[in-house]
Amino acid sequence: MKTTDITVLALIGSPRKQGNTDIMADRLLAAAEEQGAETSKIYLDDYDVRPIGEVCDNSRQRDDPRSDDDFPALLECFLGANVIVWSTPVYWQGPSAQMKCFLDRMSSYFNRAEYAERFRGKGHIVLCAFGRPEQKHGEWITEPMKLTAEVLHGAYLGDVCVSVYEKGKIREMPEALEACRKLGVECVGWVQERRKC
Ligand SMILES: Cc1cc2nc3c(=O)[nH]c(=O)nc-3n(C[C@H](O)[C@H](O)[C@H](O)COP(=O)(O)O)c2cc1C
């Protein structure tokens, strides 16, 4: 039940519903809800978010030439959240195209005077699944997202990166799911602590 005005939003980059990154996000969101947060989840693949079009070099003066698609509505959901959960599989040494399109399109807004303040102060979490056995494959996602949190004047609250390939196999990995649950609890505590300052 919602007992706070804290909002946690998960952006799902995989086209697989109830795939590994979706299940990880569910676990995190359930824990955040138990702490009284309001949670929501967006499957990016359900929306029409085109790759960014030509924009000017100065990010403070950028327009979004493709703003007639679903991106502006999704951006409003993003801007209204206290914590963003970036949940994506590794696809070809990077985030999924669905996630990358969202990130690129954000760059048309984040530095504009009328938006900059609304991007600030969020907590950012990464959940990531990849098929390869080497743990470093998660870094294709975590390193750019740490920088994203910095550029958006937010805080990187942590990540869970798991080597898992088959759809839904993460259900058999209790340690990974427990790490997601913990982040769900911690992110609500982080918002509460920040508000005390
Ligand atoms: C198009 C595609 C590209 C992929 N590229 C990589 C990759 O570069 N490295 C890797 O470790 N796994 C790769 N994988 C495996 C996925 O990351 C892995 O199956 C993951 O668990 C999928 O998460 P999901 O169930 O949330 O969709 C790829 C899978 C697909 C379908």
Ligand 1 atom, smallest distance to 24 CA: 26
As a whole number of angstroms, the distance between CA 149 and CA 128 comes to 16
What distance in angstroms lies between residue 148's CA and the mean position of ligand 1's atoms? 22
Closest CA to 7 of 123, 135, 111: 123
Contact, 117 vs 109, CB < 8 A? no
pLDDT in tens, 170-181: 999 999 999 999
Give me the CATH topology for the region 7-196: Rossmann fold (3.40.50)
Q: Which two tokens stand for residue 26?
A: 């569910």
Q: Is 94 in the pocket of ligand 1 (CB under 6 A)?
A: no
| Whether pTM exceeds 0.95 | yes
pLDDT in tens, 55-79: 999 999 999 999 999 999 999 999 9
Order of strands across the sheet with 83-89?
38-43, 7-12, 83-89, 123-130, 155-163
Reduced to 3 states (helix: H, G, I; strand: E, B; else coil), residue 23 is helix
